[in-house]
Amino acid sequence: MGLGLIGFYVGFVLLALIRSAAGIDDAWGGEVNIVGGYILGVLGWLMGIGMWGMWSREWFGLKTYRRDLPGWQRYFTFNTDHKVIGIQYLVAFICVFLLAGLIALLMRLELASSGLQFLSTSQYNGAMGLHGILMIAVAVAAVVGGAGNYAVPLLIGADDMAFPRLNALTFWLIPPVAVTLMATPFLGGIETGWTAYPPLSTTTNSSQILFDLAIITFGLTSILGGLNFLVTIIYMRAPGMTWGRLPIFVWSMFVTSWMALLFTQGFAVALLMVILDRVAGMAFFKQEAGGDPLLYQHVFWFYSHPAVYIMVLPGFGLALEIISHFSRKPLFAYRYAVGAFLGILGLSGVVWAHHMFTSGMPNYLHGPFLVATELISIPTGLIFLSALGTIWMGKLWLQTPMLFALAVIFNFACGGVTGIFLADVPTDIHLHDTYFVVAHFHYTIVGGEIFALFAGIYYWFPKMTGRMYDERLAKLHFWWMFIGFNLTFFTMHLPGIKGMNRRIADFPSSLDNLNLLVSLNGFLLGASFLVFMYNIINSWIRGPVAESNPWRARTLEWQVSSPPPHENFPERPVIKGHPYDYGVPGSVHSVFPGVSGAPAGGGK
Amino acid sequence: MGQGASRLQRRHVILAGILWAVLTAIGWLLVVADLYPTVGSDEAEDFDDIFRFLLILGVPVFTFVVSAVIYAMFAFRVRGSVPTEDGPVMRGHGWFPRVWLAVTGGLAVFVMVYPGLTGLAELQSDRRAYGWGERDAEVIIQATAFKWQWLFQYPDGTTVSVAAGKELVLPVDTSIRFDVQAADVVHSLWIPAFRLKIDAIPGRTTYMTVKPTKEGAYETDQAYRVQCAELCGLDHAKMLFPIRVVSQAEYESWLASMKQGGN
């Protein structure tokens, strides 16, 4: 941390000196100094946290050294074990989620009635912007970085990711991002929302530069992580694990990683252009100098639309995975589900301007984007085909992971249907930028992905910690969260249709009752997480010891101890069949030749 | 699966189907509910009709999923601490996924065309323009958005803003085109009673043409307002301007009085 601070000040001073040498006025007061300081600060931080000793030394021909701390201390070091990194991601992002949730409760407290109660417009806007970007970060990184990192190598029979040090790097880039974002309320606030549209973002006198730098860094973790998953999944599958036998969660991670690799640059470059407009006198978005604010929106949404699929597809994959194991049936229409993921990948890149129907872009763009957006509902529907076909006539074991997985299907069905109202331009014109949109994306992202995140946490908790959580408390958490969530966000559609737009601290008084209802239910939802935190912390410390396969599931991670040994598989597994062939006589997913020759993960 | 199994399967399908019908009937109550602001214009009527149509189609889609999940949770659950047997092997290779794909594909294409593209065609008169509705209008009002209020200029030169006039007076049953510009950052002109919005972008003029059909005013109906609908900084929440829709005669006399008042 010290190295990070030193780096920041060195960078800051360096740039100020360069600028004063070049004869620029106010050489010490420009935002470009912050840019220089930030870059060197992040480098200093990374080196100090362990990247220097464990990796960078070898760039200079020096020997690297490992530092393997025991127990809980590992989680605070540059540790390259994917299992450690997965847990680091999960814990870090659950903390961010809860913090951003508190901010949301602050917002709902203010919005419980019209008029400004205790927040100024500036404080509200800043809180809203921070809530938005923190939750976007959670949605992009929690399942992918947390569950993905932990489970993918285990599910494919690998001993780690393809690039373990790169993996650790992506996690340790997160603290500077978090610190920078958390600094914004004290340095002017995020005035523009997470979407940062210019000219507001290029002219605002707030903490915009911090936002831009943090997001570019965060995007880097997404891109590098995507690369890591792709190489791992392509090259490190155990012998016998053909693409047709890949667990569906791994398929969803594979597709998601393509999107992360290919599209994240859009957000980074859009914000880079904002930075250049701000500090380098460029005019990408200055119409008086030949620029166009709409350019930003196109580049931004080019990433930010695929981003929502980056958020939701691992959620779908996780839900389907859990549904199959807890229905004791093969995943119904597995090939269609895989096709669905690939179809969504293909279409995700050509629908972005449905976020811009009322933006004043030329009229001829609306038709094609409407068509492409409607088409995405078809592969999405195939995910539902797979889920519903799997639970139908199954032997449903309604433990908490399964309840959350089923809730994903329920919630996203609602969110997906409301998406149609937004994809159709005639209705979108009124609904754009209203609380109808806010309700829609909370249904899809929270209802779809965050519920899946909790499904994954409960599902893999015994594997990760070696202890079992309390099932009754977990069910309490589920029902409380499910009911609170649906009451809050279903109601939220109504003020949107009635004429309440987004990102406002104050609204017409005729909408008082609806907003009060949303706020009260929001607090109900927020309270459910207290049950979760108590259960998880208590069970982690002193829950009953978990067996290696509490769920009697067939996939590879359940064939090793809880938690797994450092190298994951003492003996490399050989894949002999499909992961979900429950009920198929004599079928076996994997064997461990050499241990005892006995099949593991077999059917009954 | 034997005969007994298919009969069991059929019973499940019928019971789940009944649940679907019941939930859909309840969901369709939304179609007749008054969810909307005042219907203040032709465009608002169109919006409400299309919204209700999409609800009629969307509710059964949602309740289909919900009824399948709820039915399964009751009919197929296993009690006990550990599963003791597996379910039937249903791969989903046969006709069912293909029928599903055909039905969902057909529905998507249908909704895309009607009311999607058909509605779009009615709203867009000119492919190369930036805005909604016909370019020809009886009254053309220049709207300028700036941080954090509005300025409107009528054809005869009258301007209204928070400093002068304090409300946007519009004649009923007349087509009105707003030519929208932004002085500083991106804003958006939205009138909930009319269900139309168009962004105000520095560097171009966007437009929207509306035909108000019902008299009303902000003090009795908050849907009659111009609301900025794109985050524009500090006082975005306060960037609203009252509207009053009046008869043609009242409109003309108001214009005359504004002229007399030196506007």
Under the banding of pLDDT at 50, 70 and 90, the label for residue A44 is confident
Mean pLDDT of A234-240: 97
Q: Where do the structural domains in chain A lie, given as residue ranges?
A: 1-64, 73-556
For A482-507, the pLDDT digits (tens) are 999 999 999 999 999 999 999 999 99
Residue of B nearest to A200 (CA): B185
Subunit contact B185:A552, Cβ cutoff 8 A:
no
For B3-18, the pLDDT digits (tens) are 566 877 899 999 999 9
Mean pLDDT of A99-117: 95
Subunit contact A375:B127, Cβ cutoff 8 A:
no
Nearest to A168 by CA among A63, A285, A66: A66
Choose between A599 and A270: higher pLDDT. A270
Residue B51 confidence (pLDDT) above 60: yes
Q: What is the pLDDT of residue A28?
A: 61
Under the banding of pLDDT at 50, 70 and 90, the label for residue A602 is very low
Lowest mean pLDDT among A205-209, A260-264, A476-480: A205-209
Choose between A50 and B187: higher pLDDT. B187
For A550-586, the pLDDT digits (tens) are 999 999 999 999 999 999 999 899 999 999 999 999 9
Subunit contact A507:B132, Cβ cutoff 8 A:
no
Interface subset of B 140-179, CB within 8 angstroms of A: none
Lowest mean pLDDT among A21-35, A309-323, A358-372: A21-35
Closest Cβ opposite residue B87 in set A327, A333, A503: A327
Q: What is the pLDDT of residue A26?
A: 62
Under a CB-based contact definition with an 8 Å cutoff, are residues A154 and A94 in contact?
no
Residue B1 confidence (pLDDT) above 50: no
On chain A, the residues whose CB falls within 8 A of the CB of B58 are: 417-418, 420-421
Q: What is the pLDDT of residue A33?
A: 80
Render A436-494 in DSSP notation, one character per residue.
HHHHHHIIIIIIIIIHHHHHHHHHHHHHHHSBPPPHHHHHHHHHHHHHHHHHHHHHHHH
Nearest to B229 by CA among A433, A132, A438: A433
Q: Tell if the pTM clears 0.90, that is, is over it.
A: yes
Q: What is the pLDDT of residue A78?
A: 87
Mutate one of B29, B31, B90 to test the A interface: name it (highest A CB count within 10 A): B90
Alpha carbons A329 and A337: distance in angstroms, whole number: 15
Residue A2 confidence (pLDDT) above 70: no
Alpha carbons A284 and B186: distance in angstroms, whole number: 15
Residue A63 confidence (pLDDT) above 90: no
CATH of domain A73-556: 1.20.210.10
Tally Cβ neighbours within 10 Å of residue A288.
Answer: 9
* Residue A220 identity: L
Mutate one of A194, A393, A470, A514 to test the B interface: name it (highest B CB count within 10 A): A393
Subunit contact A377:B206, Cβ cutoff 8 A:
no
Subunit contact B58:A421, Cβ cutoff 8 A:
yes
Under the banding of pLDDT at 50, 70 and 90, the label for residue A160 is very high
Residue with tokens 């306060």: B238
For B187-202, the pLDDT digits (tens) are 999 999 999 999 999 9
| Packing angle, helices A121-141 and A208-235, rounded to 10 | 10
On chain A, the residues whose CB falls within 8 A of the CB of B82 are: 552
Alpha carbons A217 and A208: distance in angstroms, whole number: 14
Q: What is the pLDDT of residue A4?
A: 65
User: For chain A, what's the residue count?
Assistant: 604
Q: What is the pLDDT of residue A64?
A: 84
Q: Which helix (H) or strand (E) holds A560?
A: none
Under the banding of pLDDT at 50, 70 and 90, the label for residue A603 is very low
For A464-484, the pLDDT digits (tens) are 999 999 999 999 999 999 999
Indicate the burial class of B34 (C-beta count within 10 angstroms; 0-12, 13-18, 19 or more). Answer: exposed
Nearest to A310 by CA among A439, A448, A133, A169: A448
Give ipTM to 2 decimals.
0.95
Alpha carbons A521 and A489: distance in angstroms, whole number: 9
Phi/psi region, residue A196 (left: phi>0; alpha: psi -120 to 50; beta: rest), is left
Buried b (16+ CB within 10 A) or exposed e, A411-441: bbbbbbbbbbbbbbbbbbbbbbbbbbbbbbb
Residue A600 confidence (pLDDT) above 70: no
Average pLDDT over all residues of chain A: 92
Alpha carbons A307 and A299: distance in angstroms, whole number: 13
Q: What is the pLDDT of residue B81?
A: 72
Residue of A nearest to B121 (CA): A367
DSSP 8-state symbol, A568: S
Share of chain A above pLDDT 70, in %: 95
